[in-house]
Amino acid sequence: MFFTYLRRELRRRRKAALVVASGLALGIALVIVVNSVSTGMSRAQGKVLESLYGLGTDLTVTKAQERPEDGSRPQRPRFEFQGKEEGEEQSSDRLMVQGFQTLADSTVASVAGQPGVDRAVGGLSLVNLKINGEFERGRIQRGQTQQGQPGGENGQNGGAQNGQNGGAGGGSGPGDTVTGGGAAFDVDSFTLYGTDVTAPDLGPLTTSTVSRGRTFKTSETDAKVAVVDSAYAQEQGLDVGDELTVKGIEFEIVGIATADRGQSAAQVYLPLKQAQTLSSSASKITTIYVKATDSTRIDALKTAIQKNVTGTTVTTSADLARTVSGSLDTAADLASNVGRWLSYAVLLAAVLVAGLLTSSAVTRRVREFGTLKALGWTSGRVTRQVVGEALVNGVVGGALGIAIGLVGAYAVTVAGPTLTAELGSVGGAFGGGGGGRGGTVFGGGPGGTATGRTVDIALTAPVGITTVGLAVLLALGGGLVAGAFGAWRASRLRPADALRRVE
Amino acid sequence: MYELIGVTKQYRRGQTRVDALAGVDLTLDQGDRLVIQGPTGGGKSTLLQMLGGLDRPTSGRVLLDGIDLAALSERRLTAVRGQNIGFVFQSFNLIPTLTAQENVETALVPLGIRPAERRGRAAEALESVGLGERRGHLPSELSGGQQQRVAIARALVKRPKVLLADEPTGNLDESMRDEIVDVLEGLWKEHGLTFVMVTHDSAIARRAPRLATIRKGRITIKENRPAAPAPVEA
């Protein structure tokens, strides 16, 4: 009788039932879509962060920014060209530590010894900068009014401006004019990363996949081998088996690696010891990559390292996530703030409307319930009937909502809108990306502040079992809450009052 | 069977106190048939609700087979209603979404009878009121008289000791009224029920062996001639 009565009542009031179910469906669909998009955002952010320091890294340790001493200037790249004969080539090949801040590689052991640290490996980020070119002297033409007066001859133009010719010179006397002259310089730069080949599963190289050749062997701690980023290799016409010269030393390219997304962490990867030797940074590293034993206690580990290993800055993925801006950040904010609360507000409104409709249906059925009570139906039986009807509405709404939500989430994944993540600066954190030729040449800058980096990532909206479970619970909860409105009224109904009210 | 001792019922309508029943004493034996008449608002329906355990008196006792209905818990009172008392209402009070058969079955649900037996007994009850062929029809597909027959079948299917009818012909035309009164009287005789009916219709009242009149909450009983069904006057 319960199900017969239930079925007939829902069929009789199918419009009202449809309104209630549709309202719940809308709310539940919104919850699913917003939750799945939010999950997609989190994953996108995770991928963006992974692209910076690789899989499995929970935090990084770098040297803390130091205040320059009074009178001293912050370290910057510096080039000196000596006066040479006209047309004679001038060049400078500098291999610099990115950010100019290093830690002793013994710090790796100190960090690894902290409780809560599973593993720690060090790496050295470098920038190779080659400048090649020549100066051309300017020609002085003496002014008439100044004729006979001595003037500077062969005044020299100054100011090399990144490979552009230009600049009128000085060195002439009053009334003289200088024509021609200038400088032409080529700038070639690329980033290098000295990696600990004994720990191939931790560090920036894990963000790339070796597409040709192989990665380093764990035995190649001091071998003259290199892995080159595919974009840089294409630009330079390099391939596996070719030689790459760094500071006059030749390295055999054993592999070409392609960044999983965005830019690679460096354009050239060398064994750490080779990188240290080339840059005259023996026993120095720039960054320590740390994997924690418990990923839920990252903040505690950060505090412990900062306290116990002095002079370091510890950066977690959460710190880095705070520097993410761009459309990914905007969309993530929208999803987590506006979207989530909007979906819950819609759901709450739907439940309230469902409750009011159920309550109103009980009012219309006062005589019906009064009669049933007169026939011997207990309040509990009448209540169960009312709640049962509301629950079915909730289940129908939930099923509809889950279906709509899954379609919505699927549509988002298929459409895959591209979001741009801009990673801002983090003091003492990760080095900037390799960039193209002439890109982030001075990545890191003084104190190792990471420069901005842009990563494009396609948005997905994965629907997890938790989200579906949440939707089912919301549907049943919504139905029960809606039913409770009516049930409360039905249970308080006294048969005499009910019958008297309608007779 | 029934013994009402000093039953009063007071309502509050705004600031005014209404004495619906003002010290009613009444005794009914098994198989008695009582018709209650009186002006509107005199307390007829209130008395019927006291007899049916639908309401509780302000004071006094309503004994059914020695059990004071006023003292029972809501659950026990509901059980007594479900097992012993059948109701017929003026507006039929059928569940509009259920068929005639299912409406009759609703009276058996509280008794915990299994579905198969429930269906059999409901079908029998509908046969006994001449609606065996219409048991699959919804109330909206039946005439007023047929709907009231379904309501009577519903009241009797649980084989109650008491049948209470509140203006059962109030919403019916004359031919239907006669039909329903004949059915009720036939079933009363057949089942030996205690039968109490509230009516405004004097023609029906004259056919009852006992006639109670309620005015301003006070009851007077008049014995009619022995109950011999007589033709109903229009």
Q: Could you give the percent of chain A with pLDDT greater than 70?
A: 76
ipTM of the complex: 0.91
Give the pLDDT band (50/70/90) at residue A54: low
Q: Would you place residue A165 in the very low, low, confident or very high pLDDT band (cuts 50, 70, 90)?
A: very low
Sheet holding B210-215, edge to edge: B85-88, B162-166, B194-198, B33-37, B210-215, B218-223
The CB-based long-range contact list for A236-244 (8 Å cut-off, 24+ gap) reads A239/A212, A240/A212, A240/A213, A241/A213, A244/A268
Residues of chain A contacting residue B106, judged by C-beta atoms under 8 Å apart: 1, 372, 375, 377
CB–CB of B154/B118 below 8 Å? no
Q: Do A367 and B93 touch (CB under 8 A)?
A: yes
Strand A59-63 versus strand A312-316 pairing type? antiparallel
Which has the closest alpha carbon to B62: B188, B72, B222?
Answer: B72
Q: Which residue, A423, A421, A408, is CA-closest to A460?
A: A408
Of residues B82, B91, B118, nearest to A376 (C-beta): B82
Nearest to A377 among B45, B96, B110 (CB): B110
- Kindly report the nearest CA distance between residue B141 and chain A, in angstroms: 15
| 0.90 surpassed by pTM | no
pLDDT at residue A99, as a whole number: 74
- Kindly list the residues from chain B whose CB atom is less than 8 angstroms away from the CB atom of residue A365: none
Nearest C-alpha of chain B: how many angstroms from A374?
7
Cβ <8 Å between A375 and B87: yes
Chain A residue numbers touching B74 (CB-CB < 8 A)? 379
Task: Select from B98, B106, B118 the Cβ nearest to the Cβ of A375.
Answer: B106
* Record: contact A368-B93, CB cut-off 8 A: yes
Least confident of A371-380, A441-450, B41-50, B188-197: A441-450
Query: Which of B74, B110, B166 minimises the CB distance to A375?
Result: B110
A501 Cβ under 8 Å from any chain B Cβ? no
Residue A495 to residue B45, Cβ atoms within 8 A: no
Q: Which of A88-97, A217-226, B171-180 has the lowest mean pLDDT?
A: A88-97
Average pLDDT, chain A: 77
A382-395 pLDDT tens trace: 989 888 888 888 88
Work out the angle at residue A217's Cα, subtended by the Cα atoms of residues A216 and A218, and round it to the nearest 5 degrees. 115
Identify the residue with better confidence: A40 or B20: B20
Check pLDDT > 80 for residue A421.
no
| Cα dist from B70 to A43, B80, B152, whole Å | 68, 12, 26
Nearest by CB to residue A375, choosing from B82, B90, B118, is B82
Q: How far apart are the first and last CA of chain B?
A: 34
Any CB–CB contact under 8 A between B136 and chain A?
no
Residues A111 and A117: beta-carbon distance below 8 Å: yes
Over residues A188-202, the pLDDT tens digits come to 888 999 999 998 888
Partner-chain contact A368 B102, CB within 8 Å: no
For chains A and B, count residue pairs whose Cβ atoms are closer than 8 Å.
Answer: 80
pLDDT band with cut points at 50, 70 and 90 for residue A81 = low
pLDDT at A357 over 50: yes
Q: Determine, for residues B105 and A1 on separate chains, whether the beta-carbon distance falls below 8 Å.
A: yes
Please check whether residue B117 touches A, CB under 8 A.
no
> What are the two backbone dihedrals, phi and then psi, of residue A292, each rounded to the nearest 5 degrees?
-85, 155
A492 at B interface, C-beta within 8 A: no
Task: Report which of A250, A264, A101, A290 is spatially closest to residue A193, judged by C-alpha positions.
Answer: A264
**Can you list the residues of chain B whose pLDDT is less than 70?**
225-234
Give the pLDDT score at A458.
79
Query: Which residue did the predictor score with more confidence, A91 or A217?
Result: A217
CB A443 within 8 A of CB A432: yes
∠ Cα A488 A482 A372 (to 5°): 45
Using the beta-carbon criterion (under 8 Å), do A496 and B55 form an inter-chain contact? yes
Q: Does A14 touch chain B (CB under 8 A)?
A: no
